Structure formats: structure tokens, C-alpha cells
Amino acid sequence: MAQNLIATIFAQTEDNSLATPGINRATIFFLIATGLGLSCGVASFIFGHEAIYNNTREVPWGMLISTYAFWAITSTGLCIYAAISHLFGGTKMAIVSNRMVWMSIICIMGAFATIGVEIASPHRMIIYNILSPNPTSNIWWMGTLYGMAVGCMIVEFFGIVTGLGKVAVILGTAGAVAEVLANSCLGGVFATLPARPYWYGGQLPIYFLTAAFLSGACATVFFNWLAYKIRGKEMGEPVKTAMTSAGKAMLMVLILYSVATFWRLIMYYVGGAELGRVAASALVSGPLSVNFWVLEVTIGLLIPLLLLVLSRLKNVGMMAFAGILILIGQFVARYDLVAAGLLVPSNLGWDNAPTYLDYVPSFFEFGVIIGSISLVAFGFLLGERMFGKVFEQKEH
């Protein structure tokens, strides 16, 4: 009975135009890459995290934490835009909101896969999150809320596929609220550490929320452009209008995010703790300067701003290119944020401590990152194949 129901649903939602050898090969490739990449993280449970990853007692977090933050923040942005479109109806982005819900689920799965092989005992997190909750912990709230959010989004997407519109709207709204709160707690994990002045303060939760709106708009444009590209189809006017709306959001939040980035750096040079100033200098003129000026600022902020202006928010291909550049910049920005806060020794000035500690991601860390990216790519192709007709529905 259940098998017949599933078969009936898939028959109504799958897009047979993507059942091509090329798409099938790409899907299998990304599935294999996901398995191989995440197996690098699984190896840490066999040989030990300290042997696989280049984290140390002095630098306990690294690129896997920043990758987790990147995917979680992007998922939050997609979920927010989808919820707004579903909740208020008739918005110009509503026509692409179903794809945003699916990709929000896939991005948070990429985040969970990354953090799952980063922490030493992920099973304890699942068990004791329920058996021994700690409401005073930001990390407990972050994990709980993200778990609630993904549960709501999965049921929401089921409601979308089966035509349960009211259920989808209610749970989509609940999921978006949970994602926003979880995103805020993710920022709070960093912002409540007084031993790390570069993070400490009330800015990061709002900064992460701004990044979510930016990454979500970029992912909306890029994934929709890519969906039509792999089909070899032209976007209809309603979808182009939706892309223009997403482009407007991208441009507006890009400007706000750029201003926030500027003031986050300036504040360390006009006051505050010395360790915060040294951390900021790591970005401006220190070991992270190439990351910051080339990848985060030039490729992730300035060039996309120029492309969006030149596109006049009409050229979807140019907007999609700007979106992927911003996402690359956001990925590097999350790493720079984590690294800058950790590379400065807390005992700077004592016992001949170096100005900056050393950290270079290991081969296995890069493997996990490739695995998480492949997981998102696999999820995108699988969703387009299995739910393509749902993504193209004109009314929600």
C-alpha cells in the first residue's frame, strides 16, 4: 500500500526530461564523491580526530566548523525566503519557493554531515540532547532548533508534494522561526566567548542573520538558473520576475553586509581589546590577508556588486554568476571569521608566544568539505529529477 502511494506521488512529481545519461552520470558521480569525501571524516573515528585533522589544543576549531556554519547559514536564508513567499502568498518569489524549501533541507544536511564527522562523539549529542538537556548552553539550543527546523521543513515539503497547503504553510513558518533562532544561537556560540575578543559582543548573531539573507538570495538565483540550464530551457517571464526580486534582495543585502564587514573591522582599531585588534590585523595585513582582500572582498563583494549593477537585475546569467561568487566569498568569510578568532594566542605577550598560531587544513578536512559540497550537488540533481514538476508549479 505504502509502495503504491509513493509510486503514485513520484509519477506525479518526477521530471522525466532529466532522465538522461549525462544527468544520471553526474548524479552518480556526486554520490560517489559524497561517500569518498565523508569517508575522510569517518576515518577520524577509526584513527582519532587528532591524527586526521590539523586542529590542536590551541586551535581547536578549523575549516570544518566554518563549513558547517556556511551551509547552516545558507539553509536559513533559503528557508526564510521560502516561508515569506508561502506565508504571504502572491509574492514574486513564490513561484520558486518550493525549490527553496528543498535546497534549504539539502543545505542543512550538508551542514549536519560536516559537523557529524567533526565532533568526536556525535551519537552522544543525539542521545544526551534529549536525556540531559542544558537550556543554558547556546550549542544545545542551536542543535535543538536546527533539528526542529529540519523536521518542520521535511514535513512542509511533504505537504507541498501531496497538496496539503495549509500544513505546508504552518510548518514552513515554524521551520523558518526555528532556523532564525538557531542561526542566532550559532552566532551566540562565538559571541559569548569573552576569551576571544574578535568574536565577543552582540554583533555576530545579527551579522550571521544578515549573511543568511545574502546567501539565501544568492542560492535562490544560482540554483534556479542552474535548474533551467541543465534542462536547456528558457525561463518564463514569471520566473525571470522572481529572479529579479531575488536579485534586488541580493543587491540590497550585499550593500548592508559590506557596510557591516567594514564597521566590524574599524571598531577594533578605535578601541576594544588588543587581542581583537591583532585578530583584525590578521585579515588586513596578516596571514589571512589574501583570503580577506582577494577572496572575501574582491571576489565575494566588489565584483558581484559590479555584476549586479551591470546586469540591471535583468540578466539572470550574470546575476547567477554574481551569486556563486558571493557564495564563494561567504564560504571564505566563515573560515576567516573562525580562523581570525583562534590564530591569536590568548597569552599573547607572555612566554614568547607567537603573534599568530599555525593552522592549515589537512587533506582529510578538505576531503570532508568536498564531500559536503558533493552532497548538496547530489541533493540538487536528485530533487530536480524526482520533484521537478513540483518546482515548476505556478501557484502555491
Residue 3, burial from CB neighbour count under 10 angstroms (0-12, 13-18, 19+): exposed
Cβ neighbours, 10 Å, residue 28? 12
Q: Is residue 374 part of a domain?
A: yes
Residues with Cβ within 8 Å of 144's Cβ and at least 6 positions away in sequence, in order, are 129, 133
Q: Is residue 59 part of a domain?
A: yes
pLDDT value at residue 395: 45
Q: What is the pLDDT of residues 79-125, one digit of tens each?
A: 999 988 877 665 688 889 999 999 999 999 999 999 999 988 888 88
Q: Is residue 12 part of a domain?
A: no
Taking phi over 0 as left and psi of -120 to 50 as alpha, with beta for the rest, 358 belongs to beta
Quote the pTM value.
Answer: 0.95
Asked if 226 and 190 count as a contact pair (C-beta separation under 8 A), the reply is no
Asked if 64 and 115 count as a contact pair (C-beta separation under 8 A), the reply is yes
Residues with Cβ within 8 Å of 309's Cβ and at least 6 positions away in sequence, in order, are 251
What's 379's domain CATH number? 1.20.1630.10
Q: Is residue 16 part of a domain?
A: no
Confidence of residue 5 (pLDDT cuts 50, 70, 90): low
Phi/psi at 2 (nearest 5 deg)?
-65, -40
Q: What is the pLDDT of residues 200-209, one digit of tens each?
A: 988 899 999 9
Q: Is residue 14 part of a domain?
A: no
User: What is the tally of structural domains in the chain?
Assistant: 1
Q: What's the mean pLDDT when you consider all of the chain?
A: 91
Q: Is residue 10 part of a domain?
A: no
Instruction: Determine the structural domain holding residue 80 and report its residue range.
Output: 21-391
Q: Is residue 272 part of a domain?
A: yes
* CA nearest to 13, candidates 392, 388, 394: 388
Q: Is residue 282 part of a domain?
A: yes
For the residues 155-163, what does the mean pLDDT come to? 89
For the residues 322-329, what does the mean pLDDT come to? 98
Q: What is the pLDDT of residues 293-306, one digit of tens each?
A: 999 999 999 999 99
Identify the DSSP state of 208.
Answer: H
